[in-house]
Amino acid sequence: MTQLYEQYKKLGISEEVYRFGEEILASLSARFTRIDQNAEYNQLKVIRAMQAANVSEACLLGTTGYGYNDLGRDTLEKVYAAVFETQDALVRPQITCGTHALALALMSNLRPGDELLSPVGKPYDTLEEVIGIRPSGGSLAEYGVTYRQVDLLPDGGFDYEGIRTALGERTKMVTIQRSKGYQTRPTLSVQRIGELIAFVKQIKPDVLVMVDNCYGEFVETAEPSQVGADMVVGSLIKNPGGGLAPIGGYIAGKKECVENAACRLTSPGLAKEVGASLGVLPAFYQGLFLAPTVTASALKGAIFAANIYEKLGFSVVPDGQESRHDIIQAVTFGSPEGVIAFCEGIQAAAPVDSFVKPEPWDMPGYDSKVIMAAGAFVSGSSIELSADGPIAPPYAVYFQGGLTFPHAKLGILKSLQNLTDQGICRI
């Protein structure tokens, strides 16, 4: 065996598992080339945005206290607006996570009596409490904002007639989740999101469309804001933070929508003018700079995992050949043991906390126990190699991330090693 295999062997990978992985990899080279081309396009887009905004060394310094006249913060928001081709953006460490960014975008742009419509089925778990689908203090429901949902058709298509009926006089905003989240429906391409937005706006031109862009940034060459979304919203500890941002979220969109969000985040009247960036700006800038290639590594990892587990007979979404619109890979193991063994393998491959064993626990915001594997430099970062799955049927694991492809590859091989060692699958 090769010198390279010697490294894998030292990390506990059997020759059989290694060879199986190499065979799968050999069949993926054309796809990996296309992913690299996409990353190249997006890398140039980011550099161009930074140059156009005159990013300077002074932008990397932060402010403290109120954060008035924070050049780096204000310039970074211009860079995000340019990357997403929007009028404005709010990019802040005070936005604590993706759920917070989404809650902020919703709560600041909806008023009592308005209705929110999801035409793509149930939103991400943590948004159920934000909306009030599951009762929660401070939800939109408590403030008199109602919610309607139109499920996708059994074949994954949009229920256009159902959407037409659901778009009422009070419908102020439509929320579209790009990524599948903890579901096994297909992720929406930017093109399909554009078709849906065109349909909705043709019926109701003044409706606002928000896209939950989590996990979708830089996977394609265009973003949903380029096909009609009024706001795109996401987390900096996913794709756009490039693995370096230690916290944060963004809302990019129409000037008025972003202004509303800023008024809610800070205070009416203060809006974007306050909010010290402290010391996070170098990580925000450099993370965005790295994000296109980091996202490409994560995508390659997802495709590698899909092809491995598909070949072994498990159901995988997306399948091994499908085009990709987010970095999440779902693998259905059909048993709690499969989910747990997979997550243990991912954990064992980590640079940080490789020696701990992940266990299912009751996470806030989720309604079943969830197991999470993450040995990340940034706690909870899911652009870093990570896996999680609710301990509930169909016992699917959601796998994502990998700042570098070699790390993603090691994690996937470790998971496979674990599953074969435990007799859950055979090569």
Ligand X SMILES: *Cc1c(COP(=O)(O)O)cnc(C)c1O
Q: Where on the chain is the footprint of ligand X (CB under 6 A)?
A: 97-99, 102, 124, 126, 177, 179, 181, 212, 214-215, 235
Helical packing angle, 71-84 and 29-52, nearest 10°: 130
Q: Which is nearer to ligand X, 24 or 188 (CB)?
A: 188
Q: Which residue is nearest to ligand X (CB)?
A: 98
Q: Considering the complex, what minimum distance in angstroms separates the CB of residue 97 from ligand X?
A: 4
The distance of closest approach from Cβ of residue 259 to ligand X in the complex, given in angstroms and rounded to an integer, is 23
Least Cβ distance, residue 263 to ligand X (angstroms): 22
Is residue 346 helix, strand or coil? helix
Helix 405-421 vs helix 336-348: angle between axes, to the nearest 10 degrees? Answer: 140
Closer residue to ligand X in complex, CB, 179/347: 179
Contacts of 75 (CB under 8 A, 6+ apart): 53, 54, 55, 56, 59
CA 328 to chain centre: 8
Q: Among all chains, which residue has been given the structure tokens 């954060």?
A: 67
Q: Which residue from 107, 78, 73, 75 is spatially nearest to 93, judged by alpha carbons?
A: 73
- Pairing between β-strand 249-253 and β-strand 315-317 as defined by DSSP bridges: unpaired
Question: How far apart (Å, rounded) are the C-alpha atoms in residues 425 and 43?
Answer: 39
176 vs 303, beta carbon nearer ligand X: 176
Instruction: Rank residues 126 and 418 by Cβ distance to ligand X and give the closer one.
Output: 126
Smallest separation (angstroms) from ligand X to the CB of 275: 19
Of 115 and 212, which has the nearer Cβ to ligand X? 212
Nearer to ligand X, 103 or 410 (CB): 103
Closer to ligand X by CB, 99 or 139: give it. Answer: 99
CA distance 364 to 124: 13
* Smallest distance from ligand X to CB 343, Å: 17
Tell me how many degrees the CA angle 291-295-297 measures, rounded to the nearest 5.
Answer: 120
Tally: H helices and E strands in the chain: 12, 12
State which residue, 179 or 420, has the beta carbon closest to ligand X. 179
Cα three-residue angle 378-382-385, rounded to 5 degrees? 90
CB of 225 to ligand X, least distance (A): 16
Least distance from ligand X to the Cβ atom of residue 24, Å: 26
Q: How far is the CB of 414 from ligand X (least distance, A)?
A: 24
Please choose, from the candidates 397, 405, 400, 358, the residue with its C-alpha nearest in 3D space to the C-alpha of residue 383: 400
In single-letter form, the type of residue at position 313 comes to G
